[in-house]
Amino acid sequence: MISRTTIVAALVIAGAATANAQQRVTVTGCPINGIAPKCIIIRGADNTTYNITDARQRPEIGTRAITVTGIRVNRNHYCKQGVVLANVTWTYTNQNCR
């Protein structure tokens, strides 16, 4: 028979894993082409590279900075570059890209 403590511990661990897998990220920067065709990445202020290829609308490359919000997911992506974000939304900022 499984004790209540074991069940509660399993639920807490599962909840923590879900929270880590569903981490919301917001980053502002200039979108650039990735190394693979059709890939778009953005580099945050902390120099972390994010893969935003799954955005429904593609931002213009190299014109204006964008603020991106997405869910950090732990999965492979054909771009093989950056932290993959899912459910990506973005808006242009007033900042120009160099």
pLDDT per position as a tens digit, 8-33: 444 445 555 555 557 999 999 999 99
Among candidate residues 31, 42, 33, the one with its CA nearest the CA of residue 82: 42
The CATH architecture of the domain made up of 24-96 is: Beta Barrel (2.40)
Q: Mean pLDDT, to the nearest integer, of 75-83?
A: 87
* Alpha-carbon gap, residue 15 to 95, rounded angstroms: 38
Indicate the domain borders of the chain: 24-96
| pLDDT tops 90 at residue 85 | yes
Global model pTM greater than 0.85: no
**Strand order across the 40-43 sheet:** 24-29, 64-72, 83-96, 49-51, 40-43, 31-33
